[in-house]
Amino acid sequence: MSSRDQFSTKIGFMLAAAGSAVGLGAIWKFPYMAGSNGGSVFILLFILCIFLISLPVLIAEFMIGRRGQADAVTSFKTQAPGKPWYLVGYLGMVISALILSFYSVVGGWILSYLARAAIFAVKPTDGSTYAELFTKVIENPIEVVMAQGAFILLTILIVQAGIKSGIEKASKIIMPLLFIFFLVLVVRSLTLEGAMEGVRFMFVPDWSLFTGETLLLALGQAFFTLSVGISIMITYASYLGKSENIGGTGINVALMNIFISILAGLVIFPAVFALGFEPDQGPGLVFVILPAVFEQVPFGGLFLLIFFILLLFATITSSISLLEMVVSVAVGDNRKKRVRTSWLVGILIFIIGIPSALSFGVLSDRTIFGRSIFDAVDFLTNNIGMPLGALFISLFAGYYYSTKVSKAELNTSPFMYYLWLVLIRIVSPIAIIIIFYTGLK
Ligand code: PFF
């Protein structure tokens, strides 16, 4: 997509937005966050946060981007000349870069596993376990940094060449395939002996596990999974024509994400309980459980390989949106600077991400506010940066726009419009402030 092209088809925009949204958030992060934070309680809060807070903000970002028809900073500048709203765009730029710095670390882990899956070496032959293999991979400083670099390289190559339309077309095949894979795996997982314990863990809430921090983490996940709060969707919607139904697109993206997250959970948790693993083992959860589930499937090794390829695609469609956001602010509509800037920004992000990559091995004893470097960057971006950005975006769309403007943009039934208005003006800002306050105490 060149700088000021428009999406030619409805499905093109939907795929780009869904591509950015569906990624590691749903497939890698959601299961381990749910697993470490009370299962069903977290899941319930997550779904509530999506509908009450994150989805209205997603629609607001679509609105701001389409009206702005430019990168996030310029969009705010032209719509609010002489006012400091454009700083929200810069906040998004910094947070996007930081997210990509650790997102690429996990992207690197996927490449590492993909390489092993390609030679059918995910199953350790020396009698060690899947958990030990994961530890071995993420502790190895050379492997993690090289894999992270390779992942960023892939992202840069796509963003600088502008071959995203190809990726969008590929997404049309990849996403449904991913769905089918998950469905098959869900069936396999659910039919393991003892699987129901996992289903209970996901759907029967134990409210004694409810805390302010769980709520803050669920909110962070709701933003992360929809790519909301850091102006990415403003950037994407700036390529949008007037005829698009932004409300409907937003709802579809949200539903798709919830669906994939729950499917991922339904693969992971029944297997966790049936095969005797622990649900709260953190970022390694899917890397340990998935190979164990595939082991129970005929031709599992081959399917595991295909699965990692699909997962890599889903991850790349998200990482290019992160880099695209930063590059688009840096170059504006200047196409000539695009290639050089993509490389420059990408390399910078790679360097910033190295401490995160090493934080599971050689830097594991370095902590920031009691968290590992990786977790600290994750927490700062997800639980502080994104909610803060979302708060400002709610205020901008809710109060800075006149109701005449937002009504015309949303172009939906009066009921849906006023529902959105109440959510964006009152529910979302107040909830973000309260959750912030209780979660950070
Ligand atoms: N939504 C992506 C995921 O769930 O994997 C991650 C992400 C992409 C977050 C883009 C934020 C973003 F701006």
Q: According to the model, what pLDDT value does residue 163 have? A: 58
Classified as helix, coil or strand, 412 is: coil
Query: 345: CA distance to ligand 1 center in Å?
Result: 18
Separation between Cα atoms, residue 438 and residue 441, nearest integer Å: 5
User: How many of the other CB atoms lie within 10 Å of CB of 380?
Assistant: 17
User: How many of the other CB atoms lie within 10 Å of CB of 268?
Assistant: 30
Three-point CA angle 410, 416, 418, nearest 5°: 90
Residue nearest to atom 10 of ligand 1 (CA): 227
Question: Measured from the CA of 229, which atom of ligand 1 is nearest?
Answer: 13
DSSP 383-397: IIIHHHHHHHHHHII
Joined tokens for residue 429:
């800002």
Determine the distance from the C-alpha atom of residue 57 to the mean position of all C-alpha atoms in its chain, rounded to a whole number.
Answer: 15
Q: According to the model, what pLDDT value does residue 315 have? A: 93
Please indicate whether residue 160, judged by its CB atom, sits closer than 6 Å to ligand 1. Answer: no
| CA dist 52 → 56, 199, 239, 424 (Å) | 7, 25, 26, 9
Q: According to the model, what pLDDT value does residue 236 have? A: 84
Separation between Cα atoms, residue 171 and residue 303, nearest integer Å: 19
User: How many of the other CB atoms lie within 10 Å of CB of 193?
Assistant: 8
- Choice from 225, 235, 324, 325 to test ligand 1 binding pocket (greatest atom count within 8 A of CB): 225
pTM, entire model: 0.91
Please indicate whether residue 230, judged by its CB atom, sits closer than 6 Å to ligand 1. Answer: yes
Query: 121: CA distance to ligand 1 center in Å?
Result: 30
Three-point CA angle 179, 181, 182, nearest 5°: 65
Joined tokens for residue 89:
């765009």
Query: 271: CA distance to ligand 1 center in Å?
Result: 26
Determine which helix (DSSP H) or strand (DSSP E) holds 371, and give its type and residue range: strand 371-372
Please indicate whether residue 318, judged by its CB atom, sits closer than 6 Å to ligand 1. Answer: yes
Contact predicate 74/68, CB 8 Å: yes
Separation between Cα atoms, residue 160 and residue 328, nearest integer Å: 11
Nearest to 8 by CA among 194, 164, 210: 164
Please indicate whether residue 96, judged by its CB atom, sits closer than 6 Å to ligand 1. Answer: yes
What are the pLDDT tens digits along the chain (441 aa)? Answer: 444 556 656 667 777 888 889 999 999 999 999 999 989 999 999 999 999 999 999 999 999 999 998 889 999 999 999 999 999 999 999 999 999 999 999 999 999 999 998 888 788 777 788 888 899 999 999 999 999 999 999 999 888 876 566 667 777 778 788 888 888 889 988 998 899 999 999 999 888 888 888 998 999 899 999 999 999 999 888 877 777 789 999 999 999 999 999 999 999 999 999 988 889 988 999 999 888 888 888 888 888 898 899 899 889 989 998 998 898 888 876 777 888 999 999 999 999 999 999 999 899 889 888 899 999 999 899 888 999 999 999 999 999 999 999 999 998 999 999 999 999 999 999 999 988 777 666
Domains of the chain: 10-440 (1.20.1740.10)
Classified as helix, coil or strand, 414 is: helix
